[in-house]
């Protein structure tokens, strides 16, 4: 089975709000004309982000002295901790496209890590065998792998 190739490029945060592009709207709460209140924007797919413009009186070595963004938690409507620089990946559904096939919960990120973990925990069994033949069966549908050992 061949997995589909994603053609959409990952979206990045622009240096300022006009760079957000088509479909973004200003949803700044009341009182948003105050320059101390960050401007909030909502993307066409529902992502909400806040823009903090650079304070000309602050050092350019600080967040306050540089344009930056904040992700808004979709469940609480409040700003999440942390700062996002222009050029970083756009958070939320308006950012990177979802993978065509997400791995099942609990699946390893690499199909080979499961084999490596099994081999490490069964090292004694492998060393004791005179001749060992085996095959690794990859399962891209689940993101996992199996190791079959045949000991003559």
What pLDDT, in 10s, does the model give residues 53-71? 999 999 999 999 999 999 9
Angle of CA points 51, 24, 45, to nearest 5°: 110
Contact between residue 43 and residue 93 where contact means Cβ atoms under 8 Å apart: yes
- Fill in the DSSP letter of residue 20: G
- Prediction pTM value: 0.55
pLDDT tens, residue by residue, 73-114? 989 989 898 999 999 999 988 886 555 555 555 555 554 455
pLDDT for position 65? 92
pLDDT of residue 137: 58
């Amino acid at each position: 089975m061949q997995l589909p190739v994603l053609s959409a490029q990952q979206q990045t945060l622009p240096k300022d709000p006009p760079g957000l592009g088509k479909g973004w709207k200003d949803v700044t709460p009341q009182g948003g004309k105050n320059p101390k209140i960050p401007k909030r924007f909502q993307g066409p797919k529902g992502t909400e982000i806040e823009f903090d413009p650079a304070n000309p009186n602050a050092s350019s070595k600080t967040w306050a002295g540089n344009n930056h963004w904040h992700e808004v938690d979709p469940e609480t409507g409040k700003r999440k901790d942390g700062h996002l620089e222009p050029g970083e990946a756009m958070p939320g559904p308006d950012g990177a496209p979802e993978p065509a096939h997400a791995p099942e919960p609990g699946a390893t990120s690499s199909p080979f890590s499961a084999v490596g973990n099994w081999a490490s925990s069964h090292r004694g069994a492998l060393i004791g065998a005179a001749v060992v033949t085996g095959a690794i069966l990859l399962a891209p549908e689940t993101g996992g792998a199996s190791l079959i050992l045949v000991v003559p």
